[in-house]
Chains A and B, each alone.
Chain A
Amino acid sequence: MRLTQGTFSFLPDLTDEEISKQIEYCLAKGWSIGIEYTDDPHPRNALWEMWNLPMFDIADPQAILHEVNACRKAFPSYYIKVNANDSTRGRETVALSFIVNRPAKEPGFRIDRQEAAGRMVRYTLHPYAADRPTGARYNGAK
């Protein structure tokens, strides 16, 4: 099941050229860009690991694409996203966020039903990938 988080996630995966154009748009807006990765696809997992620090004052998208590719090389089967932060309101706020790398096989989620007191049912979402420890999810690849 394809993970649909962030912008463009219902489209086919972006090519490097398309990613570069999106980054160019962000840079033209004056947004700073950070790269994040994770192997926990749960939608409540909002804080992913940071790949280096967010990059400020970059002029050329190639600099960021290079980092994206370095991150892909290090974590080929992780989810990787590009976040663009807008600081015009005095705090860095995510203005655009899109996934640029995903595992080859995404097993998806199951719903767990928990029966509670008084015939109450609690629902919870469980990613199949989370059955294994982090680092060993998605074909055990790093």
Chain B
Amino acid sequence: MTPAAEIDVGAAAREALIDETLRALDAELIGLEPVKLRIRQTAALLLVERLRGQAGFSADPPSLHMCFTGNPGTGKTTVALRMAKILHSLGYVRRGHMVVATRDDLVGQYVGHTAPKTKEVLQKAIGGVLFIDEAYYLYRAENERDYGQEAIEILLQFMENRRDDLVVILAGYKDKMDKFFQSNPGLHSRIAHHIDFPDYTLDELMEIAELMLRQQMYAFDSESREAFREYLELRVRQEHFANARSVRNAIDRFRLRQAVRIVGRGGSIPREELARIDAADIRQSRVFQGGPKGVAA
């Protein structure tokens, strides 16, 4: 059979559910423009690659190992999960599951323990995505005989020889990852995609909070929205601010205070009151009292 002269790209894209997946990505992930751009590029590349294969051009599946860098709570894990689904719907990985590993899962305790341990994790990830969180802990520069080096070597070998079988995503904070790659140049060159996750702006954090509340079926009223904005402005400047994660924790605490307020008052309340976060729930936060430095409550 000779390949068709005309190729319906739109139909192929629809078939692979690309638009749908990308739209869900846009709706459910706030901000992160550079990340979304890269995902869109990757999706397009994989689709074209597949069409090229069907049309009789040489199609060499690209290497898709990635590195996500960014501050805490910028969505690295969430995006990695999405990535696994996208790669699966594009047929790049066979299963689309994600295995999360940290140093403890890969590096052994004694001589000869590391290799089987790393291989076991890699085997579990075959057909999907292996997400290594805080990857820089694999390498301990201060200890020459650290078994982390061995884990990295096995990882490298797998990433090179069995790229059809799995995609490795390394994640961590930017500065530490840079240092990690400096001491492991082989690893750096084998990862084609380095994606940096920017911090969220205040508006994006507000949107994230609204989205989280909506998902949990709560809502701000106009006063509490204003209060939350002030809360964020103060909180961002304090220590240990972890972007979306801090927002999530803050919301959990607002829910606690709301519950206490409702129970404390007793009596009967309108139905909507159960879903409403009051400005008082927010303003009780220690962040407003100039809080003890570095600790949010």
Contacts and interface: CB of A to CB of B under 8 A. Distances in A.
Interface string A46-64: 0000001101011110110
A29 B123 CA distance: 18
A74 to B, nearest CB: 16
A128 B126 CA distance: 41
Interface in B108-128: 116, 120, 123-128
Contacts of A60: 94-95, 126-128, 165
A142 B146 CA distance: 36
Nearest to A57: B124
B193 interface: no
A25 to B, nearest CB: 15
| Interface of B (DSSP majority class) | loop
Nearest to B96: A59
A66 B125 CA distance: 13
A67 to B, nearest CB: 8
B291 to A, nearest CB: 43
Interface in A8-25: none
Task: Name the residue among B123, B124, B162 with the largest chain A CB count within 10 angstroms.
Answer: B123
Contacts of A52: 116
Contacts of A53: 116
B165 A62 contact: yes
B97 interface: yes
A62 B94 CA distance: 10
Contacts of B126: 58-60, 62-63, 66
A59 B165 CA distance: 11
Contact of B124 (A58, A62, A66, A67): A58
Contacts of B123: 55, 58, 63, 67
B150 to A, nearest CB: 18
A53 B113 CA distance: 13
Nearest to B162: A66
B159 to A, nearest CB: 15
A63 B162 CA distance: 10
Contacts of B162: 66
Nearest to B99: A59
A66 B95 CA distance: 16
Contact of B97 (A55, A59, A66, A67): A59
A35 to B, nearest CB: 12
Contact of B127 (A55, A57, A59, A67): A59
B174 to A, nearest CB: 31
Contacts of B128: 59-60
A64 B95 CA distance: 14
A79 to B, nearest CB: 23
Contacts of A66: 126, 162, 165
B113 to A, nearest CB: 13
A4 B114 CA distance: 39
Interface string B74-96: 00000000000000000000110
The 6 closest A-B pairs by CB, nearest first: A60-B127, A63-B126, A63-B123, A60-B126, A59-B95, A59-B97
14 contacts: A55-B120, A55-B123, A58-B123, A58-B126, A59-B124, A59-B125, A60-B95, A60-B128, A62-B94, A62-B126, A63-B126, A63-B127, A66-B162, A67-B123
Given A55-B120, A63-B124, A67-B123, 17 more contacts: A52-B116, A53-B116, A55-B123, A58-B123, A58-B124, A59-B97, A59-B125, A59-B126, A59-B127, A59-B128, A60-B94, A62-B126, A62-B165, A63-B127, A63-B165, A66-B126, A66-B162
